[in-house]
Amino acid sequence: MADSINIRELNERIENKSAFITHLTTGMNQTIVGQKHLIESLLIGLLSDGHVLLEGVPGLAKTLAIKTLASLIDAKYSRIQFTPDLLPADVIGTMVYSQKDEVFQVKQGPVFANFVLADEINRAPAKVQSALLEAMQERQVTIGSETFKLPEPFLVLATQNPIEQEGTYQLPEAQVDRFMLKVVIDYPKLDEEKLIIRQNINGERINILPVLSAQEIIEARKLVREVYIDEKIEQYILDIVFASRYPEKYGLDKLKGMISFGGSPRASINLALAARSYAFIKHRGYLIPEDVRAVAHDVMRHRIGLSYEAEASNLTADEIVSMILDEVKVP
């Protein structure tokens, strides 16, 4: 009985404390038409302290969404346009010689911000990717012999174009795995696009003002970690991830030769964290299976390796995740 009272209290507290989500969503909707899933995914990344990779053809408001979110939060924002000739120093900074003081001084790069937009991340070579890797995973940057902590909150929001192959470098698996979510963005609906055209030809410019401070985000993250996860939901999360590793144990024999590698423990952790943030966005203090299912594709799609057999059969990672969700028993 005590547990149910605690959950009720927790639920009420989270319902009150998550009110700012409405302000953020309203602010995003002022500039972004439609794209509900994109907005939710950015908020999940923000609340879970996880990086987000957005994939979609040019012109789907990926950059605009990130800029709008950064404007709604009183925090430092920087944009890095990734190109094939980019150097690690262009991202993290470098040592600059000061003639006046006759010493080398550290000049910090654009990665020293709360929100870093890595635009067209797959255009930069491996050495730039590895420089970004330390920043994403360790939340610190090493320049010369010195190590610098990155500001809190720190979020990398990267975009990539899936259709272009010219002058692009495929992201290494180790880096893709560092992204909590990989969100695939589709074209807007017909009525949404009509509204987009009207807004743009009328030249409407909406002035976005901050509705939240960086400190409030840090406080909200602590609350998200209090969202109650029942043991049955924990088991459900584990079953989904384990089914991507050993499909034959979950009655998915046809997937056995299709998967070269499944989700790592990072997939299980991120699935639980993202589901918690999703429940928080829905103003709930406890997890239900629908929360896990809502974020499963974004958390798992980049963590499943497809075999040659799967590629020959035109089977996608998304389809594999759907098959797993259909087969794994819901608590």
The model's pLDDT over 13-27, given as tens digits with 9 standing for 90+, comes to 888 888 888 888 888
CA distance 175 to 58: 22
Q: Give φ, ψ of 212 to 5 degrees.
A: -155, 150
DSSP state of 307: P
> Sign of dihedral through CA atoms 14, 138, 266, 91?
positive
Region 235-240: what's the mean pLDDT? Answer: 94
Read off the pLDDT band of 52 (50, 70, 90). Answer: very high
Supply the CATH number for residue 79's domain.
Answer: 3.40.50.300
146 and 241 fall within a common domain = no
Rg (C-alpha) for the chain, rounded Å, is 21
Domain annotation covers residue 18: no
Supply the CATH number for residue 271's domain.
Answer: 1.10.8.80
Contact 64, 196 (CB under 8 A): no
CA distance 48 to 129: 23
Region 93-100: what's the mean pLDDT? Answer: 83
Read off the pLDDT band of 166 (50, 70, 90). Answer: low
Say whether the peptide bond before residue 153 is cis (omega within 30 degrees of 0): yes
27 and 127 fall within a common domain = yes
153 and 274 fall within a common domain = no
169 and 300 fall within a common domain = no
CA distance 184 to 324: 19
- Tell which residue, 9, 14, 1, has the closest CA to residue 283: 14
The pLDDT score that the predictor gives to residue 202 is 76
Residue 173 has pLDDT above 80, yes or no: no
The pLDDT score that the predictor gives to residue 181 is 93
182 and 280 fall within a common domain = no
**What residue numbers bound the domain in which 261 lies?**
228-327
158 and 239 fall within a common domain = no
35 and 157 fall within a common domain = yes
